[in-house]
Amino acid sequence: MKRGKKYQEALKAVDRTKVYAKNDAVELIKKLSYAKFDETVELSMNLNVKKSTTIRDTLVLPHQFRGEKKILVFAKGDKAEEARKAGAAFVGDDDMIEKVKGGWTDFDVAVATPDMMKDVGKLGPILGRRGLMPNPKTQTVTFDVTAAINELKKGRVEFRSDKTGVIHMPVGKVSMEIAQLLDNINAVVSEVERKRPSDTKGEFVKSVALSATMGPGLRIARESE
């Protein structure tokens, strides 16, 4: 892939053989940012896991950087009313299922009560490929819809390793304070390390890198503090 002159200039300032302290890496990424928009800072973690193993969970980052999510809740009766009171953007049961079947996906995250999953599960071809399917592992299949909505409004995010064992996750914006970015980075690294499978031999986290949307990646230290 051919890169532009600004990227090439930024790359010259990066030592590709060096493992940077997180503070130094964040400072350099902010310094080298050249885009006209507020670039996203992304963390990548290369994990030592079996091909059949997916490392997946959710957490609320200490410092939020995205707008409020539009939440859809699949629920009936009292739970539907509870979802409305908690501030869900869209609430329904069969009506919402039919709307999604028709191709509507104008929402950021979906929550469902367990009794709805038999029907919601049929939306797999639509929601699954967009990463919107409610899942107990991400606390989006629950009868406690108020708690789920509140956490999502606070900015609860999901991380998930891909088929190669790599997690890619946004952790902030270049415009954020260095301390805020470090807090978010440490929170993710700590949470991922906590998910180490019991059968993993040797190092669980093989490498960690940090980058901005338009900039080169920097390898960073793995410790969470």
* pLDDT tens-place string over residues 138-162: 889 999 999 999 989 888 888 999 9
Q: Are residues 124 and 108 in the same domain?
A: yes
Q: Are residues 75 and 146 in the same domain?
A: yes
Query: Does residue 40 or residue 225 have the better pLDDT?
Result: 40
Closest CA to 68 of 189, 174, 154: 154
Q: What is the pLDDT of residue 2?
A: 62
Q: Give me the chain's average pLDDT, please.
A: 91
Q: Are residues 61 and 169 in the same domain?
A: yes
Mean pLDDT, rounded, for 158-168: 92
User: How far is it, in rounded angstroms, from Cα 128 to Cα 175?
Assistant: 33
The answer to whether 32 touches 10, Cβ cutoff 8 Å, is yes
Q: Are residues 149 and 162 in the same domain?
A: no
Domain boundary among 100, 122, 153: 153
User: How far is it, in rounded angstroms, from Cα 73 to Cα 52?
Assistant: 31
Is 101 contained in some domain? yes
Q: What is the pLDDT of residue 4?
A: 74
* Entry pTM: 0.75
Q: Are residues 141 and 83 in the same domain?
A: yes
Is 116 contained in some domain? yes
- Answer left, alpha or beta for residue 165, where phi above 0 means left and psi between -120 and 50 means alpha: left
Q: Are residues 135 and 182 in the same domain?
A: no
Q: Are residues 82 and 144 in the same domain?
A: yes
Task: For helices 178-194 and 22-32, give the axis angle rounded to 10 degrees.
Answer: 130
Q: Are residues 88 and 31 in the same domain?
A: no
User: How far is it, in rounded angstroms, from Cα 111 to Cα 57?
Assistant: 15
Domain boundary among 153, 183, 201: 153
For 103-134, the pLDDT digits (tens) are 999 999 999 999 999 999 999 999 988 889 99
User: How far is it, in rounded angstroms, from Cα 215 to Cα 225?
Assistant: 25
Q: Are residues 90 and 142 in the same domain?
A: yes
CATH code, domain carrying 205: 3.30.190.20
Is 225 contained in some domain? no
The answer to whether 159 touches 57, Cβ cutoff 8 Å, is yes
Is 164 contained in some domain? yes
Domain boundary among 153, 183, 207: 153
The answer to whether 194 touches 181, Cβ cutoff 8 Å, is no
Is 35 contained in some domain? yes
Q: Are residues 51 and 75 in the same domain?
A: no
Q: Are residues 81 and 24 in the same domain?
A: no
Residue corresponding to tokens 């629950």: 142
Q: How confident is the model at residue 225 (pLDDT cuts 50, 70, 90)?
A: very low
Number of separate domains in the chain = 2
Closest CA to 154 of 64, 84, 225, 21: 64
Mean pLDDT, rounded, for 62-78: 91
Helix ranges restricted to H, the chain = 5-12, 22-32, 77-86, 94-101, 117-120, 124-127, 145-154, 178-194
Q: What is the pLDDT of residue 75?
A: 97
Q: What is the pLDDT of residue 52?
A: 87
**101: containing domain:** 71-153
Q: Are residues 89 and 120 in the same domain?
A: yes
